[in-house]
Structure 1
Amino acid sequence: MPAGLRSTVEAIAGTPLPHGILGASCTTLYDVTEEQIHELNGVQWLGLGCCPARDWADPCETPPGETPPPPPDKEFCRPEVEHAAPITVYAGAECSALGFSYDEAREQALASLALGEQHAVEAGFMRTKLSMEAVDLTPPGGPLSIAQGVAVLEGCLAESYGGVGTLHVPAGAAALLGCCNLLREDPQTGSLRTLAGNCAVIGAGYSYLNTGPAGTPADPGTAWLYITGPLVIRRGPVDVVPDRSRASASVNPRNNDRRVLAERTYLVGTTCKVCAVLVETCP
């Protein structure tokens, strides 16, 4: 068939990864209401369950003939104030204003945000929370296998928190989790769970940064895994800049290019200890 003018058809729609931080069914995600909009500046709370419950040795149970020890003091701990800081994600569309209307630019920006915001939230959470607060459990000998890494992280969580937590895995390392049956899909919720019952988030944004504690980048052939408590995510409304009432402001008169921006703010909260370990992805 001879070459001719191309026909314009519908764009190819995308679907965000199902087990990312916004798609994982073990993540609590809700939209803030107009009355709660101030929460997008940041929130704080008193941590629950971060102080361990302990067994008490009753001195009356001392075997006959032995001197009973003095009654042990029962330990108390003060709950810590935890917080979540805002993570603002955005997507912008730019093209010559000639043949590119405001509505087309707006549609482009909104579509890019809808498909890419999960990636951006994961990267923002790794950059501002995971890598900043994690305890590095990588042994002196270097990276562990991915199965060993998951075991170390789950042990860390179990010692500091009594509930179900969240394993954070870069998408580039996700396939290795199937080699040792480290994850299984919950048939009722569709979430990915470890044998211990912890939930797993498979994040493209984690792969994009792949940084460890204090922002340490992973060497080629390695990846940073994290574990936290459960996740509660607050999501703000989408803002389009400029809005439709100021559509003319989207055009730069100097070069006649049109720009439209779509953005929104998230707060990703978790609780108690954050642990990290470096694993091999290409031994």
Structure 2
Amino acid sequence: MPAGLRSYVEAIGGTPLPHGILGASCTTVTDVTEDRIHELNGVEWLALGCCPVRDWPDPCETEESLGEESPGAPPVKEFCRPQVEHAAPITVYAGAECSALGWSYEEARQHAEASLALGEQQALEAAFWRTKLAMDAIDLTPAAGPVNIAQGVAALEGCLAESYGGVGTLHVPAGAAALLGCCNIVREDPATGALRTLAGNCAVIGAGYSALNTGPGNIPADPGTAWLYITGPLVIRRGPTLTIPDRPGPSVNTRNNDRRVLVERTYVVGTTCTVCAIQIGVCS
């Protein structure tokens, strides 16, 4: 068939990964209403669940109480001062640019909105990994080097359990996700669709995590390795989308007749207590 002019069709749509950071099954995502819009500037709170809850031994049942000598000073109950935690805003955006002669304002706006809807989860994951996970983590990687994924998950869950008694969140790069099925490390909860470990922690599989794959301090992973993190539960505040400019006129650069439309959204991602990290091998 002879070559001819190509037909213009609709763009190929897509769907964000179902177990990403915005998956409703693993995180609490709240749309911020107008009366609470100030929360998108960042939030702080008193940590809950990070202070240990201890058992109180019965002094009448201790070995010291059986003797005739004085057992010394009586035991004292300990108190814990909750720490103030905080979460900073993360703004993600998508911009569309084309000649104003071939693109209307509405077409540019729709394209930017569709781009944001498809890619905002990946961008949010990358930003959260870079600014929170990699900056606050305790590195559990042994001196001998990376471990296999089952050993890595076990170490992370142990680290979290020592400081937080609730259900936590395992953060896994998409490039290492297939390895989770090798040892039945995670299973899909039929009721919620969430991926959970045997201990009950939820797993987020992130394309944005895979794009960075850095360790504590944002040091790039060595070839053939990946980083896993674990945190407490995630609470995400999501702002409305903003279109800039909000009308056709200012979207055109009169110097070159190009049209630009930007769509952005602000998130605040909060988690609690300890962040732990470990490096795993992804090659046999």
- Residue range with higher mean Cα deviation, 211-220 or 65-74: 65-74
Q: Distance in 1 between matches of 2:184 and 2:242?
A: 42
**1:1-283 pair list within 5 angstroms:** 1-63=1-63, 64-65=66-67, 68=71, 70-244=73-247, 247-283=248-284
Question: Letter of the aligned partner of 1:71 in structure 2?
Answer: P
Question: Letter of the aligned partner of 2:227 in structure 1?
Answer: W
Question: Letter of the aligned partner of 1:18 in structure 2?
Answer: P
Q: Distance in 2 between matches of 1:84 and 1:17?
A: 24
SS in 1 for 2:233: coil
Question: How far does residue 71 in structure 1 lie from its aligned partner after superposition?
Answer: 2.9
Q: Distance in 2 between matches of 1:217 and 1:71?
A: 52
Percent identity (aligned):
79
8 Å contact from structure 1 (residues 133, 274) kept in 2? yes
Which segments of 5 or more consecutive residues in structure 1 lack a partner in the other structure? none
Q: Distance in 2 between matches of 1:52 and 1:174?
A: 33
Q: Distance in 1 between matches of 2:243 and 2:133?
A: 29
Q: C-alpha root-mean-square deviation of aligned residues, in Å?
A: 1.3
8 Å contact from structure 2 (residues 134, 218) kept in 1? yes
**TM-score of the two chains, using structure 2 as the length reference:** 0.96
SS in 2 for 1:17: coil
8 Å contact from structure 2 (residues 149, 180) kept in 1? yes
Q: Distance in 1 between matches of 2:130 and 2:78?
A: 35
Q: Distance in 1 between matches of 2:215 and 2:46?
A: 26
SS in 1 for 2:214: coil
Please give the per-residue CA displacement for 1:172-212, whole angstroms capped at 9, x wherever unaligned.
Answer: 00000000100000000000000000000000010111111
Q: Distance in 2 between matches of 1:73 and 1:65?
A: 21
Question: Letter of the aligned partner of 1:27 in structure 2?
Answer: T
